[in-house]
Amino acid sequence: MKKPILIINFKAYDNAFGKKGIDIAKKIEKISIEYSTEVTLSVPATMISTLSQEVSLPIYAQHIDDVDLGAHTGAITAEMIKEAGAKGSLLNHSEKRIRLDQIHNALTKMKKLGLESVVCIDRYELVNPIGLLQPDSILIEPPELIGSGISVSKAKPEVITKAVDEIKKTPSVYLIAGAGISNGDDVYTAIKLGSAGIGVASAVMKAKEPEKVVEEFIKGALRAIENG
């Protein structure tokens, strides 16, 4: 997995699918290319195949069910999202938590299939326990800040710094910070505090001009990285 500088979770917003979903994905792609900075889009299962064809950005699923192929009506398996064109998936998002054994099973299968994995958690104490399972990345998001517009960078920088300390125990795993990230400064701070990149959703998906927000985020990230 490349350094995950910016992951955008489309969630189930009204512009996450259909023509609106394609439109926003293309706008983000344009900025991504302009700044030579990879942006990952985590999209609804119904949109994986379409967006994998429509844009060149890495497409992630938002969730994978821990079941093998077979009689599992309604399940979305790792095999299915790969076949549809996904490069990886979020796992254990606060809006779709799964159990530890399911996380381990899903990660094992994703590695076998060559899928990238970003496991979401809500507190620094879980960084090392999850890190031991060797996902590609861990995305830490204090749930009370998700969608709040109050960024973890400003409101709870200690969550990031403690998580950064913990992630050092499993050096191959990237740490991503998220929750409430709203502007370029939030991104700058998160990366300066030690996170590899950031995860966002509402700040982009609910923006009037999502591409401008993504541009600002990328600029903030690049500034922090150059500033190193």
Q: Which is nearer to a copy of itself, 7 or 39 (CB)?
A: 7
Residues shown for the chain: 228
SS3 177: strand
Task: Examine the residue annotation and report whether 63 is marked as an active-site residue of this protein.
Answer: no
Query: Does 103 participate in binding a copy of itself (rule CB under 8 A)?
Result: yes
| Pairwise CA distance, residues 191 & 87, whole Å | 24
Q: Tell me: does residue 148 bind a copy of itself (CB under 8 A).
A: no
Q: How far apart are CA 143 and CA 204, in angstroms?
A: 18
Amino acid at 105: N
Residue 23 binding a copy of itself, by CB under 8 A: no
Residue 172 near a copy of itself by CB under 8 A: no
Q: Which of residues 110-129 bind a copy of itself (CB under 8 A)?
A: 121-123, 125-126, 128-129
Burial of 187 (0-12, 13-18, 19+ CB in 10 A): buried
Compute the distance between CA of residue 69 and CA of residue 227 in angstroms, rounded to an integer.
47
Query: What tokens were used for 75?
Result: 């399940």
Report if residue 72 touches a copy of itself, rule: CB under 8 A.
yes
Rounded Cα gap, residues 165 and 98, in angstroms: 25
Q: Are 206 and 13 in contact (CB under 8 A)?
A: yes
* Residue 9 assigned ligand-binding role: yes
Which one of 141, 166, 215, 216 is the catalytic residue?
Answer: 141
**Per-residue contact track with a copy of itself, 180 to 219, x per CB under 8 A?**
---------------------xx-----------------
**Which positions lie near a copy of itself, rule CB under 8 A?**
9, 11-14, 16-18, 42, 44-50, 62-63, 67, 69-77, 79-81, 83-84, 90, 92-101, 103-104, 121-123, 125-126, 128-130, 132-133, 146-147, 201-202
Catalytic residue set: 93, 141
